[in-house]
Structure 1
Amino acid sequence: MILGQPVFDASAPQLRVQGRRLSNVCADLETLWAGIGDTLFGFRVYPIAPLVAIMRRHTWMRGFDFDPEAAVRLCWAGVRPIRVDAPVRYFRGSEGGVSHFQYLRDNILLVGMHLRLTAGGLLRLPWQIARRLQRGW
């Protein structure tokens, strides 16, 4: 899977940058630092067959939680991430910038997702460690 790695400029709101960091730390823990990078960046290319198989087994991943959960679950399935730097500029409202992020709803969704994934990561911990040791951590 190819995952964009945002390179923020000075226009990036610090509240959003810090919020992303928190989600990234959670994903790092859930995947034992598999290299996802930024969990909330939408520049992604996923392998279709593994993604469809995962989506058939899980009823979540249909909203704002799609990208981070898809990346974590694909890592658990053995798909290695490839990160590609992508410059990011936040446009002001006067420049046509629009955010579809709804703070309360989407943060509740993300917290619930990370709780589910953390529990799943703990259950997979022995398997993840064994896989990492085989690959040479």
Structure 2
Amino acid sequence: MKALAINPCVIIPVYNHPSKIWAVVDAIRQKGLPCVLVDDGSEPNCAAVLVNISHSDDAVYLLRMDENRGKGAAVCKGLKYAHDLGFSHALQVDADGQHDLTDIPKFLTEAAAAPQAVVSGCRRYQDMPPSRRSGRKLTDFWVCVNTVSKSIKDSMCGYRLYPLAETLVLLNRKRIGARMDFDTDILVRLYWQGLDVINIETNIRYQDDIPSHFDIVQDNVRITWMHTRLFFGMLPRFFSLWLRKAPNKRT
């Protein structure tokens, strides 16, 4: 891979994906990127797999959560750890193999060109299962409202690259949603903080053998409450957001 002006790593929150994680880490390491695995209270068989992976490669770091605290909590722990290790950027990748890791060079190229921006994956609507489209459309609407813009194309995609110094400013002063509300919550708040969002199209592999950890009742309640908090947080920012010039138009 071409040398970059940034120093990136990959963060992978893991909760019970023992059959997928080896291949995900291997694909990332083949691209020369270090990995931070965050075990979010996985069952013993998955935990053992993660230990074996970390022992097999000095560029794979393993963090353990004492209990399942949610994807968002795991990613935030990984972001802080990556920053402490001296990395400048962290690419968030799911452990279940859904993300198309051949797109990693696109994320890195965009980040090298705009190192203070968030580079966010954007899924094509036509590629999504119908059951997921309605939820995304509703969230897309509220994200437009809460940012007073169309700068964020897909806030629910968990395939994105963060500039760590700027992200840690947010994490050190604000508690972010810990579970399925995380991806949207942190991206909107980073936009409020003044970071640009660069959207790049990416493929997501929806597979029947990938278990979903989405709790249809509790997670929908969390997401609804998140949109409510963001709406009332947007109100005092409305005019500054409205006056914000030159929104990023890349998709």
**Equivalent of residue 156 in structure 2, options 7, 24, 40:** 40
Q: Which residue of 2 aligns with 1:97?
A: 210
Q: Which runs of 4+ in 1 moved over 4 A?
A: none
Kept in 1, the 8 Å contact 2:196–2:247? The answer is no
Which of 7, 15, 19 lines up with 2:131 in the alignment? 15
For the 8 Å contact 1:4–1:41, the answer to whether it is kept is: yes
Residue 123 of structure 1, aligned match among 233, 236, 245: 236
Higher RCO (C-alpha under 8 Å, 6+ residues apart): 1
Identity in percent? 30
2:124 counterpart SS class: strand
For the 8 Å contact 1:4–1:44, the answer to whether it is kept is yes
For residues 79 and 64 of structure 1, the distance between their equivalents in structure 2, rounded to whole angstroms, comes to 22
Residue of structure 2 aligned with 1:3, choices 99, 120, 144: 120
Q: Which has the higher helix share?
A: 1
Q: 1:121 is aligned with what amino acid?
A: M
1:111 is aligned to 224
Please list every run of 5 or more consecutive structure 1 residues that lacks an aligned counterpart in the other structure.
Answer: none
Q: Which runs of 5+ in 2 are unaligned?
A: 1-117
Distance 1:26 1:131 in 2: 18
RMSD: 1.9
- TM normalised by structure 2 equals 0.49
Tell me how far apart the structure 2 counterparts of residues 34 and 14 of structure 1 sit (CA, whole Å): 23
Between the aligned partners of 2:183 and 2:222, the Cα distance in structure 1 is 12
